Amino acid sequence: MKPAIRVATQGDEQAIFELISELALYEKAPDQVTNTAEQLAIDLFVDNICDAIVATYDDVIVGFALYYFSYSTWKGRCLYLEDFYVKESMRKLGTGQLLFDEVVSIAKTSKVKRMDWQVLEWNEPALKFYSKNDAILDGEWINGRIFF
């Protein structure tokens, strides 16, 4: 049986947040997560500042992709893939490819000019995945951030 992809709905926030916590642990930064499932629900379903899709297997959420629309003065409307994660046990079933393909489809349907995301330089499986999908992995730009 193949995993199913669907739009996240209210009530999915706890499962998505648990996956976010797994991702933070995988990225060796679990203490940096300050968001909550409750705030995620507000951001997704009340304030609509981001969107998410989920991968389910036997009605259990096993992966997610969270994205939002951004803007480039050079290109125009863009889609930013904030997080994309699949439970380790579901990674060899094509779950990640299904999620990624759906985000790409959303980007194309929304007529964005560019889709962006970040990947850690040590995350070899992710680097290989994105390369397999003909992504340009640009080492030229340096990330800038201010935390509040």
What amino acid positions are annotated as catalytic residues?
130
Residue 126 identity: A
Diameter over CA atoms, the chain: 44
Residue 137 identity: L
Which residue, 64, 108, 70, 53, is CA-closest to 86? 64
Q: How far apart are CA 68 and CA 52, in angstroms?
A: 9
Backbone angles phi, psi at 140, to 5 degrees: -80, -35
Q: Would you mind telling me the total number of residues written for the chain in this entry?
A: 148
Which residue, 101, 103, 94, is CA-closest to 3? 94
Positive or negative torsion for Cα 49, 77, 146, 129 = positive
